[in-house]
Amino acid sequence: MPNSIQSKGGKARAESLSPDERRKIARQAAQARWSAFDQQNDGPLPKAIASGVLRVGEIACAVLDDEHNTRVLTQSGFLTAIGRFPNPKSASNSDLAQLPAFLRAKNLEPFISNDLIRSSTPIVFESERRGGAGGGKALGYRAQLLPDVCWVYAKAQMAGKLLPGQAHIAEACTRLLEALTNVAIDALVDEATGFQDMRTKDALIKLLERYVSKDAFPWLPTFDDEFYKHMFRLHGYTYDPNSVKRPMVFARRTEDIYNRLAPGVRAELQKLVKRGKSGRPSEKLFQHLTENEGYQQLLKMLEGVKAIQKLSSDYKDYEAKLNRVYPRFNDTLPLPLDDE
């Protein structure tokens, strides 16, 4: 209680301390808190690889270098955004000690799910290095916790269970929920930290690892006679089933299929294909696709391509249909304007 003997005694003692003594006590308290977190976190701390400030709520945030690239909001930013003090006090009630400061109120318990309790564990991480300075320890919460916590206060308010001192928190949570409508919190963190560009590059690398193999597997008949028979017809050429000669333009038509398989795949395959003394390729592009995914996706696409060939009257018609069904990656489709 605010007017208890213990409260008055503590206040009097604090007022009698010098500034240096107060700073020393604060440092000791901070060290004790970090020591407790260190005991809970074995091994090296995850590091922030990108950091920034959310445009919603002006909350400091970061993306970590762990397996899931966890998006976190700093504890102080989180608390300030929902109308709480940035430096929470430790919980004295053992039943509520496992919860973060913003969920410890007894009247909120009916609105807190077990999943929320599990996801509310704070994360200790190493902040991003900036300007040559080393990153220090920071405390945060998974970004998805923000809307979940806001809903706790919103539900408590709708049920008429809020305390008078929690009204301003509920108002802040309502504003945040309105701002977060139809916007994924992780997407906001990616935008604020610049991680969306890093994520795109990382996703492309992982995709190429799934599709492209440095070791070539044995040659298999892939672009079969049916594919080339239709290609002859679409170009207006006479097809001879007993001849293996094909117009040079067919090489470009075949390689163009890889532009539609996955982004960057054709360029990566062309780097790996071995060439003879004449400079001509001694391997086919598909031989450097991964057998379990890349090659299977190519075969699946070729079935669709041959169906499009059958439905096309000439090459112009075929290419238009192909662009609609299997557009080239990083390519802009032409507008369907009428011919002059």
Q: What is the pLDDT of residue 178?
A: 78
Q: Are residues 289 and 224 in the same domain?
A: yes
Q: What is the pLDDT of residue 131?
A: 55
Q: Are residues 128 and 60 in the same domain?
A: yes
Q: Looking at the domain assignment, is residue 198 inside a domain?
A: no
Q: Are residues 180 and 222 in the same domain?
A: no
Q: What is the pLDDT of residue 318?
A: 93
Q: How far is CA 147 from CA 54, 180, 186, in A?
A: 14, 8, 11
Question: Using the 8-state DSSP alphabet, how is residue 337 labeled?
Answer: P
Q: What is the pLDDT of residue 135?
A: 64
Q: Please count the structural domains in the chain.
A: 2
**Tokens standing for residue 212:** 């492209």
Q: Looking at the domain assignment, is residue 160 inside a domain?
A: yes
Its pTM stands at 0.47
* Contact predicate 83/149, CB 8 Å: no
Gap between the Cα atoms of 36 and 264, Å rounded: 47
Q: Looking at the domain assignment, is residue 339 inside a domain?
A: no
Q: Are residues 147 and 47 in the same domain?
A: yes
Q: Are residues 186 and 214 in the same domain?
A: no
Q: Looking at the domain assignment, is residue 319 inside a domain?
A: yes
Q: Looking at the domain assignment, is residue 334 inside a domain?
A: no
- Give residue 79's domain range: 43-193
144-171 core/surface letters (b: 16 or more CB in 10 A; e: else): bbbbbbbebbbbbbeeeebeeebeebbe
Q: What is the pLDDT of residue 24?
A: 61
Compute mean pLDDT per 10 residues along the chain, 340 residues long, and list them: 47 61 57 49 79 82 87 88 71 55 85 85 82 70 89 91 90 84 69 70 64 75 89 92 86 88 83 81 84 86 92 93 83 42
Q: Looking at the domain assignment, is residue 86 inside a domain?
A: yes
Q: What is the pLDDT of residue 340?
A: 33
Q: What is the pLDDT of residue 334?
A: 44
Question: Using the 8-state DSSP alphabet, how is residue 95 labeled?
Answer: T
Q: What is the pLDDT of residue 236?
A: 93
User: Residue 117's closest CA among 135, 104, 130, 133?
Assistant: 104
Q: Residue 181: count other Cβ atoms within 10 Å of its Cβ.
A: 8
Q: What is the pLDDT of residue 6?
A: 45
Q: Are residues 77 and 183 in the same domain?
A: yes
